[in-house]
Structure 1
Amino acid sequence: MPSSVVNQYSYFPETEILRIAYQSGAVDDDLKVPLAFSERFRQARSKGRLLTAVIKRRYRFIKNN
């Protein structure tokens, strides 16, 4: 099922960056995200809920727009 918050995402294991493109067009790079957590994000039924509850509270991010 498509996310109402997340349009697409990419994970870069060499830098541990989880790049999230939102439905709004905004793009964030979440820093120092472990590979295991990126897998959890990939498998999440509600990516928006996981993003709000865990990722934005645990990892620093940079806005890319």
Structure 2
Amino acid sequence: MAEWVSVRSSAIREVGYDAETSRMFIDFEDSHPVYTFCGVPEAVFRELVNSGSVGRYYHQYIKDRYQC
């Protein structure tokens, strides 16, 4: 079961992570459905939700990586 965390971001509403499958889910403010990322280390999820800029971290370390 995924753990969901609301984040402070103008682009991202909340982020989920399922440790059993190493899948991360991102719910963007302006799009549906929720995006799924595969093979994501838990540390990347934790760094994303704790970063000073969630959007910047997403663009630098997640976007176009961890494709399912």
- Shorter chain as normaliser: what TM range? 0.7 to 0.9
Query: Which structure has more helix as a fraction of its residues?
Result: 1
Give the share of equivalent positions with the same residue, in percent.
28
How far, CA to CA, are the matches of 1:15 and 1:8 in structure 2?
19
Larger RCO, structure (CA 8 Å, separation 6 or more): 1
Match of 1:23 among 1, 8, 29: 29
| Alignment coverage as a number of residue pairs | 61
How far, CA to CA, are the matches of 2:57 and 2:15 in structure 1?
13
Give the TM-score taking structure 1 as reference length. 0.81
Give the CA RMSD over aligned residues.
1.6
Tell me if 1:56 matches 2:63.
yes
Runs of 4+ in structure 1 deviating by more than 4 angstroms, as ranges, are none
Structure 2: gaps (5+ residues): 1-6
Structure 1: gaps (5+ residues): none
